[in-house]
Structure 1
Amino acid sequence: MASATLLIESATRPDRDRAIDALRAIAILGVVLGHWLVTALVFGHGAVFGASPLRFLPQFTPISWLFQTLAVFFLVGGQVAAISRSRQIPYSGWVLARFRRLFRPVAVVVAVWATVAGFSIAAGVDPASVRTLVSLVLSPMWFLLVFVALTAATPLIGRLHPAIPLAVVATVDLLRLGLGAPAWVGWVNLLAGWMVPFVLGAAWAQGRWDDRVSLWSLLLGGLAATVALVWWAGYPAAMVGVPGAGFSNLAPPSLAAVTFGLAQCGAAGLLRDPLRRLMRRPALWAGVVVANLSAMTIFLWHQTAMITGTVLVWLAAGPRPGLHTVPESTAWVVARLGWLPLFALILTLCCLAVDRVRSSRS
């Protein structure tokens, strides 16, 4: 282990900004833990359905503030894409390489779950239950389509001011929530909402919007705007979707989700110098490098790991709190925390298996 850590340290370029990698690792960790904590699979009456503790325990809403880190992911993505695009590489080759890096792993997950779904239905499993499980795995992948679209548009996005997509989000919310426009209008925000942190990341790559005054303005201004939208404009306090709730800040992204994302971007910028100092420690840096190398695998397979653990325990020991029961009590939350190491172990095995397959093909 020590030799591997030293090898990673010696192989790292001296000019590499380790804070970018650390922020990406934090964003991935936030998404994974967020899904594992607020997604429940309830087993009962021969079926499986999804639920969320936030519906029954609103006092745990701050969990969604900590672990909804998509804005940081898009921020880092915008910065990395802008830096990469600044190199003298033909656009077509650059964009195709990035697309292949994203979609090849996705194809594997889709193929695996198509097979699992087919065998499950053929074996007599309730189709609605299969649909619940498949949707848990595939639904987070929506963001990859948005990420690809924004990445492809990096040469144009790098010239935008973040206020432009922010204004689009505000206008769309006014139309759909205040003036009675059709609900489908809101899906314009799927691209415009996540374009805001992506544009900020591209601006950082160009040395703009990254001074401390700007970062504190993003943090405090984003927080103030979010509080105002939740307190006076009726936006939900939860920054993730809650099954059964009438309105979600994420489907599609609302103005509150975007302003909260701006606050996260400001916080991320302010954390860069402390993270750079921390990443000088070889052991911490090695962990971040491993997480970044497996980032796509972790994202694509973390829900599969949760589902696998949940089903295996059900088959071996029957229903257990924190895994198969309705998430309506604090006891469920405590029990859920105890199951997280199991999910992490299965996810680690998934990453090792994917890495083995990738190595055998190369």
Structure 2
Amino acid sequence: MTVLVDRPLAAKPRRPARDPFLDLLRVAGMALVVLQHWTMPVLAFDGVRLTTANALSTPGVWVVTWISQVMPLVFFAGGAANALGFGRSDASPQAWLAVRLRRLAWPLLPLAAVWIPLPHVLLTLGVPEQPLEVGARLTGQLLWFLAVYLLAVTATPYALRLHERYGWRVPATLAAGAVLTDVARFSTGFEPVGYLNIVFVWLAVHQLGFFYAQGRLRRPWALAAGGFAAAALLVSQGPYPGSMIGLPGAEVSNMAPPTLAVLAVGLGQVGLAVLLRPWLLKLSSGRVLAWAGPRIMTAYLWHMPALFAVTGVVVVLLGVDTPAPGSAGWFAGWPVWLGLLCLVMWPLLKCFARFETPPALPYGTAGVGGTLAAAGLVGGGVLTLTVGGFAPGTGPFLAVLALVGGLLLTAPRAMRPAPAQ
């Protein structure tokens, strides 16, 4: 066996190498993720414990999450970009996958290099243990997206083959899987079964990106109307909450695990975005996209450490709690809060954006088994950090070992010298 799967010919995209619409979705999506994470926390410190609440728990504000929960759009844009990249690549599928694994895993190493020793250093300096543990765990938990996206990237060569052969039946089957999963989850009360939707929901949206890459999303208005209407019906008549993000104290979350409702909202978002594509491209700035594009991963990985740094100084050290969401104090203080976060984030971008480009590797051919094992190791490392974060213990060390092992396995095998004549 020398390839992961035969390269699908019919799935080759018709669009140019770079699609500014996809760049816009990824940059705008990540900007919304950062802005939402920086805006949501309602923080208070009593001298021992840092308590956290969510500003989006305010009654009626949940409707904002139907737009601000942009992960469906990020997976859609990723699917389209993967289809475009795979279609125009002359490399073997396993070599294509190896390159993407390196690009996803390499930026995690400096994050781990900072966060593994940091809790120990700060504890030695007298920083309270509980707030530090909250920050260390949440920094890792937000890596769930990378773990799932690694799955989508690894599945891309196979998913494109299915797309070529079965077309719309593939996302329809995945959506049906999401329906059955939710039926089993809510009828039995067995919550773990809901995590099957990590595959069904996110791969369904990722698969839609293949249709965009081929120019086959011809009725975006129908997708938008149908998706949002289905979501409204599910929320009003089903067991689903209105918020598309998890909220403290809620009996059901639409994100952990993902539900059919978040898939419906995702379909609506994709349809709306494609429908507005001509106007969005007129509003977008090529210079902004060119600057922000190579820094997306850095912003994703380091915006929470920036939040914890500001929280540590303002809330824990100075004792300034977050005003009540929606109050005059909250609106007056939000620009100052955002300004402080940007001030901390800027040097992090300057320092760590260079790691978005992994180092060059020796010549040779990537092996199939090694590439798949690399995907498993990198995914396992990210999943370990997602579950346990960077809290002191053996977990972060094991995660880094898995990441490094996966990166080493993506290195092409050194070419053997030609035999002597």
TM range (shorter): 0.7 to 0.9
Is there any run of 5+ residues in structure 1 with no aligned partner, and where? 1-13
Q: Give the letter aligned to residue 343 of structure 1.
A: L
Q: 1:325 aligns with which of 317, 322, 325?
A: 322
Equivalent residue, structure 2, for 1:70:
71
Among 79, 88, 91, which residue is 1:89 paired with?
Answer: 91
Shift of 1:94: 0.9
For 1:1-362, list aligned pairs within 5 A: 16-55=18-57, 57-86=58-87, 87-158=89-160, 159-160=162-163, 161-177=170-186, 179-208=187-216, 210-211=217-218, 213=219, 215-279=220-284, 284-314=285-315, 318-320=318-320, 324-325=321-322, 327=324, 329-331=326-328, 333-334=330-331, 335-355=333-353
Q: Which amino acid aligns with 1:263?
A: G
- Alpha-carbon distance, 1:351 to partner: 0.3
Q: Distance in 1 between matches of 2:113 and 2:138?
A: 15
Moved more, 16-25 or 250-259: 16-25
Q: What amino acid maps onto 2:202 in structure 1? A: W
Could you tell me the TM-score, scaled by structure 1's length? 0.86
1: CA distance, partners of 2:39 / 2:67? 11
One-letter amino acid of the structure 2 residue matched with residue 232 of structure 1: Q
> Contact 2:324–2:330 (CA<8 Å) still a contact in 1?
yes
* In structure 2, C-alpha distance between the alignment counterparts of 1:63 and 1:119, rounded to whole Å: 39
Distance, in Å, in 2 between the alignment partners of 1:173 and 1:33 is: 30
Answer whether contact 2:294 2:356 (CA < 8 A) is retained: no
* CA distance in structure 1 between the partners assigned to 2:315 and 2:224 by the alignment: 44
Q: Does structure 2 retain, via aligned residues, the 8 Å contact 1:33–1:67?
A: no
TM-score (norm 2): 0.75
TM-superposed CA distance for 1:98, in Å, is 0.6
Shift of 1:181: 4.9
In the alignment, what sits opposite 1:11? none
CA contact (8 A) 1:28 1:295 kept: yes
C-alpha distance 250-33 of structure 1, shift in aligned 2 (>3 A): same
Aligned pairs, how many? 337
Distance 1:122 1:243 in 2: 32
SS of 1:290's equivalent in the other structure is helix
CA distance in 1, matches of 2:151, 2:262: 20
Q: Give the counterpart letter for 1:175 in structure 2.
A: A
| CA shift for structure 1 position 83 | 0.9
Between the aligned partners of 1:357 and 1:233, the Cα distance in structure 2 is: 45
Cα separation, 2, equivalents of 1:355 and 1:30: 19
Question: In 2, distance between residues paired with 1:329 and 1:103?
Answer: 39
Greater displacement, 108-117 / 145-154: 108-117
1:7 alignment partner in structure 2: none
Q: Distance in 2 between matches of 1:147 and 1:15?
A: 21
Question: Structure 2 CA distance, aligned partners of 1:357 and 1:25?
Answer: 18
Write out per-residue CA displacement over residues 261-294 of structure 1, whole angstroms, 9 at most, x where no aligned residue: 1111111111222233334xxxx21111111110
Counterparts of 2:353 and 2:146 in 1: how far apart (Å)? 21
8 Å CA contact 1:189–1:252 kept in 2: the answer is yes
Per-residue deviation, 1:39: 2.4
Q: Which letter does structure 2 place at the counterpart of 1:231?
A: S
Encode CA deviations 1:44-71: one digit per residue, 9 max, x unaligned. 232213211233x123223322321001
Q: Which amino acid aligns with 2:66?
A: W
Q: 1:49 to 1:113 in 2, by over 3 A?
A: farther
Q: Distance in 1 between matches of 2:48 and 2:179?
A: 44
| Cα distance, 1:326 vs structure 2 | 6.5
Secondary structure at the aligned position of 2:142 is classed as: helix
Q: Deviations over 1:163-220 (max 9, x none)?
A: 111111111011011x215211011111211112100002211232x11x2x111100
Alpha carbons of 1:167 and 1:357: their partners in 2 closer, same or farther (altered >3 Å)? closer
* Worse-matched range after superposition: 256-265 or 156-165: 156-165
Distance, in Å, in 1 between the alignment partners of 2:17 and 2:280 is 15
When the two chains are superposed, the root-mean-square deviation of aligned CA atoms in Å is: 2.4
Identity fraction in percent: 31
Q: Aligned pair in 2 of structure 1 residues 76, 189: CA closer, same or farther (>3 Å)?
A: same
CA distance 1:357–1:81, shift in 2 (3 Å): closer
1:119-174 residue CA offsets vs partner (Å, 9 max, x unmatched): 23344544432221112211111110110111111122222421111111111011
Q: Determine the C-alpha separation between the residues in 1 that align with 2:56 and 2:283.
A: 34
Distance 2:267 2:82 in 1: 19
Distance 1:255 1:356 in 2: 38
Is the 8 Å Cα contact of residues 17 and 84 (structure 2) preserved in structure 1? no
Shift of 1:312: 2.4
Q: Helix, strand or coil for the counterpart of 2:116?
A: helix
